Amino acid sequence: MEKTRLLKGIDQVLLRLSLREKWMLGGGGLVVLLLIVYFTQIDPTLARMEQLESLIDRKEVALQDMDSLKRDYLSLSKKIRAFEARLPAETTFSALSFLEENAAKNGVRGHIAFIRPLTPQVQKPYREIPVEVKLENVSLAQIIPFLSAIEEAPQGLRIKRLSMKTRFSDPDKMDITFLVLSYEKTAS
């Protein structure tokens, strides 16, 4: 009963309004309805779309980073495989004898103070074998071919540490100490 009375009251108010007032009331109601729809449906959807678009941008950057990492990984894997192919099997190569042979070939064998193997470091599946070399009273022209032969060895030798000191008695000559590392595969 109260609903009908309320509806009759609204009808009477609407009947008393002029056509212009009815249009204004209808337009205001329409604006309120559109604002309600906008703030409950459209605005959250737009915000979510913006959020997803920024997420797409971040994911594209992450994808580019992953692609770059993949290329780096493949390149390093290729280099590792190439290096492993050059590694001798266990006990088939002696860095000590290689150094002595190259010293003889390059004319510095008489200047060797010592060539001594150090304790190998094992990190499966590889073994790193250090050899310390000291040459005395050699010129730079004598030592460069010897060091180049070590660096260019097909077995993957590497010079880790190098110390050069000029001699007091003859500044053109020097004493050189360096550490050569060789690698081999360990038995699995």
- Give me the CATH number covering residue 111: 3.30.70.60
Tell me how far CA of residue 91 lies from CA of 49, 82, 127, in angstroms: 65, 20, 11
Q: Which residue range forms the structural domain that includes residue 58?
A: 2-83
Same domain, 100 and 76: no
Distance between CA atoms of residues 143 and 51, nearest Å: 65
| pTM to 2 decimal places | 0.55
Distance between CA atoms of residues 15 and 184, nearest Å: 102
**Residue 184: how many CB atoms within 10 A of its CB?**
20
Domain presence at residue 115:
yes
- Boundary of a domain, candidates 37, 58, 83: 83
pLDDT attached to residue 187: 66
Same domain, 15 and 62: yes
Same domain, 106 and 55: no
Residue by residue, pLDDT tens for the chain (188 residues) are 677 777 777 777 777 778 788 788 788 888 888 888 887 887 788 788 888 888 888 999 999 999 999 999 999 999 888 877 776 665 567 788 888 888 888 888 888 899 888 888 887 777 888 999 999 989 888 889 989 988 888 777 888 899 999 888 888 889 999 999 888 777 65
